[in-house]
Amino acid sequence: MSRVTIAPEEDRLTAQIAFAVEIDKLKRVIRRNLLMDGSRRENDAEHSWYVGMLALVFAEHAPPGADIQRVIAMLLVHDLVEIDAGDTFIYDPVAVAAQAQAERTAAERIFALLPADQAASMRELWEEFEARETPEARFAKALDRFAPILANHNTEGGTWPLFRVTASQVKEKVRLIEEGSPSLGAYAMELVELSVARGHLSE
Amino acid sequence: MSRVTIAPEEDRLTAQIAFAVEIDKLKRVIRRNLLMDGSRRENDAEHSWYVGMLALVFAEHAPPGADIQRVIAMLLVHDLVEIDAGDTFIYDPVAVAAQAQAERTAAERIFALLPADQAASMRELWEEFEARETPEARFAKALDRFAPILANHNTEGGTWPLFRVTASQVKEKVRLIEEGSPSLGAYAMELVELSVARGHLSE
């Protein structure tokens, strides 16, 4: 007897596989900042791994009671919308404004590849990250901002001089770090000051 | 009054930062398999992100009761030792045997950059993954083996013909997938058969 209907669980697996194939593209979305040896620009997938690792490493710098596992899940998915919307340079205010709608459209398409329940919960993680209202999202965003500062500090300014970014612009981003983690914010501020003192970041 | 001792919490942060700087190197460890568009070989950092995402996506295919958060943490750290030991081609038995000691030496150095408590718990995650005795480790290893099969299947055989890998060799790896997830194992076996039928993998 031939099968005439697809078993629901087979349907789910097919959808999950389609999503798994799709998200491989995140490895080809290129960010502005460099690897710590300055050899090349970083892609979104390796960046997402890196900030997930930072959540494990700096867990004790999270707001009290923050669920680190949720922070990690949030960081793994936080850039998926860039498969369609591309990476935005955070120091370009025009691009940042246009990006919001593009990311929303991307979220509609990409998460919808999953079975409906998973699409909803993954989209929820992304929206929570973007809204930055929960302690988890604030900490996740802090790590997302901390990573490029650490990288630029370790590559003689990295992309700061290249894109004429100033210390006051970077310090504005440090404020987002402070809101998610006072101790990492203070440390980031030290790195910025040190980069200025060394001539790797202009005032 | 000048400070003569380093506050313990400052010491911890310094160690965590040193580790964070070190692990950036994982982005430069290149694996055998290709991205799903065949454009280039994959690095360990983006691979680690990818399998972490697979854990989220395929959570319902894990052994009953497996802690998915622990699976994800395990997958984020599972390749860190390759910063020193390099990636090993899993179809090269001589290299695989030599690799075990190199990875152990790497683990000694890399995890020890962290404060002792964190070094111990991260090393534990890695050893649990390698031992493949817990349901979490078995599922993590299944995903680690599933990813390249999915990639090769989607790139007309990808690195299989390139490195003269045969279907029976791949099927041996599929057995590891089955042990961590019968449903993903069955699906991987279908992909292997399909790749053979299409002439992308030799018998």
Q: pLDDT tens digits for A125-150?
A: 999 999 999 999 999 999 999 999 99
The token pair that represents B122 in the structure block: 């991260």
> Which phi and psi angles does A92 have, rounded to 5°?
-115, 95
Rounded CA separation B129/A5 (Å): 39
Residues of chain A neighbouring B24 (CB-CB closer than 8 A) = 35-37, 50, 151
> Is a pLDDT exceeding 80 seen at residue B156?
yes
DSSP string, B89-117: -TT-HHHHHHHHHHHHHHHHHHHTTS-HH
Around Cβ B61, how many Cβ atoms within 10 Å? 25
Chain B residues whose CB is inside 8 A of the A49 CB are 26, 45-46, 48-49, 52, 76
Q: What is the pLDDT of residue A51?
A: 98
SS3 (DSSP) at B159 = helix
pLDDT at residue A7, rounded to an integer: 63
Residues on chain B touching A50 (C-beta within 8 angstroms): 23-24, 27, 45
Two structure tokens written together for B92: 């090269």
Q: Look at B16 and A58 and tell me if their CB atoms are within 8 Å.
A: yes
Q: Is the Cβ–Cβ distance between A122 and B56 less than 8 Å?
A: yes
A52–B52 CB contact, under 8 Å: yes
Predicted pLDDT at B202: 94
Q: Which of A38-42, B4-8, B79-83, B84-88 has the lowest mean pLDDT?
A: B4-8
Cross-chain residue pair A122–B19, CB shorter than 8 Å:
no
The two most distant CA atoms of chain A are separated, in Å, by 77
Residues ≥6 apart with Cβ < 8 Å to B66: B135, B136, B139
Write out chain A residues lying below 8 Å of B17, CB-based: 150, 187
Please enumerate residues of A whose Cβ is less than 8 A from a Cβ of B: 12-13, 16-17, 19-21, 23-28, 35-37, 39, 42-43, 45-46, 48-50, 52-54, 56-58, 60-61, 69, 72-73, 76-77, 114, 118, 122, 150-151, 154, 183, 187
Of B16, B76, B187, the CB nearest to A52: B76
Collect all residues of chain B within an 8 Å Cβ-Cβ radius of residue A46: 26-27, 43, 45-46, 49
pLDDT digits (tens, 9 = 90+) for B164-180: 999 999 999 999 999 99
Q: Report the pLDDT value the prediction gives residue A2, as an integer from 0 to 100.
A: 45
* Section A42-62 average pLDDT: 98
Give residue A91's pLDDT band: very low, low, confident or very high (50, 70, 90). Answer: confident
The C-alpha atoms of residue B135 and residue B138 are separated, in whole angstroms, by 5
Look at B114 and A73 and tell me if their CB atoms are within 8 Å: no
Q: How far is CA A140 from CA A148, A184, B2, B65, in A?
A: 14, 12, 36, 27
Cα dihedral across residues B5, B10, B13, B14: positive or negative = negative
Instruction: Write the DSSP assignment of A100-134 as a string of letters.
Output: HHHHHHHHHHHHTTS-HHHHHHHHHHHHHHHHT-S
Are the C-beta atoms of residues B170 and B192 closer than 8 Å to each other?
yes
Residues near B57 by Cβ (< 8 Å), separated by ≥ 6? A16, A19, A20, A114, A118
User: What pLDDT does B87 receive?
Assistant: 84
Q: Residues of A with CB below 8 A from B118's CB?
A: 57
Answer left, alpha or beta for residue A191, where phi above 0 means left and psi between -120 and 50 means alpha.
alpha
Contact A72 B77 (CB under 8 A): no
Percent of chain B with pLDDT over 90: 81
Report d(CA B143, CA B154) in Å as an integer. 16
What pLDDT was estimated at residue B3? 47
Chain A residues close to B56, C-beta within 8 Å: 73, 76-77, 122
Measured between CA atoms, how close is A158 to chain B, in angstroms?
A: 14
Contacts of B45 in chain A (CB under 8 A): 45-46, 49-50
pLDDT of B5? 56
For an interface test with A, which of B22, B26, B49 has the most A Cβ atoms less than 10 Å from its Cβ?
Answer: B49
Nearest to A53 among B23, B60, B151 (CB): B23
> How far away is chain A from the Cα of B2, in angstroms, using its nearest Cα?
19
The pTM (predicted TM-score) of the whole model is 0.94
Q: What whole-number distance in Å separates Cα of residue B144 and Cα of residue B156?
A: 20
List the structure tokens of A167: 């210390």
| A-B contacts at Cβ under 8 angstroms | 119
Q: How far apart are CA A124 and CA B176, in angstroms?
A: 33
How close A100 comes to chain B (CA, Å)? Answer: 23
Mean pLDDT across A188-200: 95
Asked if the Cβ–Cβ distance from A46 to B43 is below 8 Å, we say yes
A88 or B70, higher pLDDT = B70
Average pLDDT, chain B: 93
